[in-house]
Amino acid sequence: MKYYILPVLFCSLLMSSCNKFLDKNPDPTQRVPTSLEDIGRLSNFARNNAEASYHQGADEYFIPVFKTTFKEEARYFYKHWNYEVTSPWAITSEPITPNYRSIQTANASLELLGKVKRTATNQAEYNKLEGKCHYLRASNYIFLAWTYCKAYQEATAASDLGMPIDEDSYFGNKLKRSTLKELYAYILKEARTAYDLLEVRYPLRDEINKINAMGLLARIHLSMGAYDSAWVYSNELLSYESELLNYNDPAEVAIGSVIPFKNFNKEMLEILPAGIRSFYDPVITGNIFYVDSNLIASYAPDDLRPRAYFRKAGDYYQYYSSIYGAEYSPSNNIMMVDEFFLTRAECYARKGEKEKALKDLNDLLVTRFVTGKFVPYTAATAAEALNLILEERKKSLVFRGLRWIDIKRQNLEGRNISVVRKVDGITYTLPPNDPRFACPLHSVLVGDYGYQQNPY
């Protein structure tokens, strides 16, 4: 039985061969990167290739009519959260490989970096590149974990299925699925290494930095239910970056325009690199999809968020990025300051610090409502404050790629969130804690490459 990651070409500078391609350069026209500048360019491919499917199973959207180009497997997944695969390539031609392509490009960059001597002269640049590669490995693996694995529980993580962990650039390694405990331990190690190596800021805003590593560590710990640690990193992040956009100011959020949010705005903690699509999902992409009607109804009349995020389309609403190739759209899953106000607020509430939790929530929401119309939230208990925060998290972070893991982790504590689809008069339901919340691997990985499928 073989355990191979699918062979994919991820950079014209790199060559695959029977031996590790870094040790051979059979074609003199193809130059293996040797300088820090070259390695930096190569590592950019790792960032640009990261496109896991974060949205396809969640409750933020619905598709009223399937286009004729919508593959049967994708239709089945939309209704049943499973793949009834009749062709080996299922929904995409590269099953789950965009993230692994990114990981292996980061691996190649680290291998090349290991061939360069670290000196007093190049140490700052060397650390930046090394930290960036570890960050990219951690960020890609955490999204694979969120998509294809169960939500993390300490009691079962040692037996729950993780994902194959690959630290090599060579495509022919024999790999198996790790346990979920092993996978999260690896992800945390990579993220902490990035945190240690990176500077807080760099001259160019689109460079991965220590603040991004703080955000990633906050995300990872939140998804694990490690709320004390999630608080530490979100709190540290907000000590550096806490400016919020004023949705009342058209210079900051151009509500009603084709591009309501601009790249390089002050809430963005990551800048969208060239080459990353504004919205990618094998179920959603290429189809007309609409925002969940219950979500639309949950916003207050003076709340400016739906006006900034959505546009009326007949009887329903569409997300801006489903219509326009906007310069910036929250659907890219990049980090923004508002996410960490909500993360810290949630952690405060779970620690029983109700007033601090409400302050973070209200400080955020006052910038999202028509001036003078927001009535600050109050709560009798920390548990009541937590309920408010989780509801606002859903409304603020819509289409950020975080809803799927939020449903999974919240259902572990009994919040009983189901995902419901209605197709041709028939209702389909994904009940809380159903095994299908760990998305199935594509059949080519199971049938041709021997990976263990998620149990159903």
pLDDT tens across the length of the chain (456 residues): 333 333 232 233 333 333 333 344 444 335 566 788 888 888 887 765 554 455 678 999 898 887 766 777 778 888 988 866 544 434 444 545 678 888 989 999 999 999 999 999 999 999 999 999 999 999 999 999 998 999 999 999 999 999 999 898 776 666 789 999 999 999 999 999 999 999 999 998 889 999 999 999 999 999 999 999 999 999 999 999 999 999 999 999 999 887 888 878 899 998 755 544 444 455 555 557 889 999 999 999 999 999 999 989 889 998 875 544 445 555 567 899 999 999 999 999 999 999 999 999 999 999 999 999 999 999 999 999 999 999 999 999 998 889 999 999 999 999 999 999 999 899 999 999 999 999 888 776 777 777 888 887
Beta bridge partners of 313: 316
In angstroms, the CA 195 to CA 192 distance is 5
At 6 the pLDDT is: 32
pLDDT at 332 (0 to 100): 60
What per-residue confidence (pLDDT) applies to 56? Answer: 75
Please give the full DSSP string across 381-416, using - where no structure is assigned.
SHHHHHHHHHHHHHHHSTTSS-HHHHHHHHHTTT--
* H or E stretch covering 423: strand 419-423
Residue 155: the pLDDT is: 97
Q: Where are the beta strands (DSSP E) in 186-339?
A: 290-291, 310-313, 316-319
Give CA–CA dist 345/382, Å, rounded: 11
Question: How much is the pLDDT for 93?
Answer: 45
Q: Which domains, ranges and CATH numbers included, belong to the chain? A: 228-430 (1.25.40.390)
Among 132, 118, 139, CA closest to 42? 132
- Integer Cα distance of 345 and 353 in angstroms: 9
Cβ atoms of 86 and 75 closer than 8 Å: no
What pTM was estimated for this model as a whole? 0.89
| Residue-level pLDDT at 319 | 84
Alpha helices in 87-209 (DSSP H): 97-113, 123-148, 180-197
CA dihedral 77, 82, 85, 89 (to 10 degrees): 70
Identify the pLDDT of residue 402: 92
> In residues, how long is the chain?
456
Under 8 Å between Cβ of 390 and 411: no
Q: 178, 165 in Cβ contact below 8 A?
A: yes
Q: Which residues pair with 422 in a beta bridge?
A: 427
Cβ pair 319, 331 in contact under 8 A: yes
Q: Are residues 414 and 34 in contact, defined by beta-carbon separation less than 8 angstroms?
A: no
State the Cα–Cα distance between residues 194 and 137, nearest whole angstrom: 10
